[in-house]
Amino acid sequence: GQNIDQPTEMTATEGAIVQINCTYQTSGFNGLFWYQQHAGEAPTFLSYNVLDGLEEKGRFSSFLSRSKGYSYLLLKELQMKDSASYLCALMDSNYQLIWGAGTKLIIKP
Amino acid sequence: DGGITQSPKYLFRKEGQNVTLSCEQNLNHDAMYWYRQDPGQGLRLIYYSQIVNDFQKGDIAEGYSVSREKKESFPLTVTSAQKNPTAFYLCASSPPVDYNEQFFGPGTRLTVL
């Protein structure tokens, strides 16, 4: 079967850096996605990793280690608007997305 | 503007009634999906369709039905058989490539009274 774990909630300070971890177990793997979701809104795409390593996009970076079943999303220079839930999603062998429960990130001034 | 629309944003229904949630996309995507999201849980797949006139059950299809008569439209009916229908419902679509980024509509929040 498949399983995805991420912390339920994290708190960080405006201007700081935060790392949100995602661990997974799966029998088939075709990539890992990170999405951002503000309360009551739709998820929006942040990043996609299919090979090991770091993908950087402005203030956001995502890392993947397939051998360890591990990914993280790194957010730099945090802004108040970054307060949201961050969803980790695994693409399985059938190219369907399996979603983690999400990490609620609270940014404090 | 290309995108996905869902209507209505908020929906109330009485217990025992069927209700249909609309999802329309003009992105020319072949694949469309319906998810349910409950507080503290990840998105759970209800149904998906990869081509017109064909659809597949997801993990929690019981009590739901769909149709895919047109490429642009993928309505979801929540039937009275769904025991716990109050939730946030999200529709998504994706282009026909292996790299399966999904684009989401704004969602419909259904409350059963």
Structure-token pair, residue A23: 């661990």
Structure-token pair, residue B8: 């209505």
Which residues are A71's β-sheet partners?
A22, A64
Contacts of A5 in chain B (CB under 8 A): none
Output the pLDDT for position B1. 64
Q: Tally the residues of chain A.
A: 109
Give residues with Cβ within 8 angstroms of B1, minimum separation 6. Answer: none
Q: Do A87 and B41 touch (CB under 8 A)?
A: no
Q: How many other CB atoms sit within 10 Å of the CB of residue B13?
A: 16
Residue of B32, B43, B111 to mutate, interface with A, max A Cβ within 10 Å: B43
> How would you classify residue B41: left for phi > 0, otherwise alpha for psi between -120 and 50, otherwise beta?
beta
In a 10 Å sphere around its CB, with 0-12 CB exposed, 13-18 middle and 19+ buried, how is residue A52 labelled? exposed
- A31–B contact, CB cutoff 8 A: yes
Token pair 């739709």: residue: A42
CA-nearest residue to B40 within chain A is A101
Say if residue B104's pLDDT is above 90: yes
- A41–B contact, CB cutoff 8 A: yes
Q: What is the pLDDT along chain A (109 residues), one digit of tens a residue?
A: 678 999 999 999 999 999 999 999 988 888 999 999 999 899 999 999 999 999 999 999 999 999 999 999 999 999 999 999 999 999 988 888 899 999 999 999 9
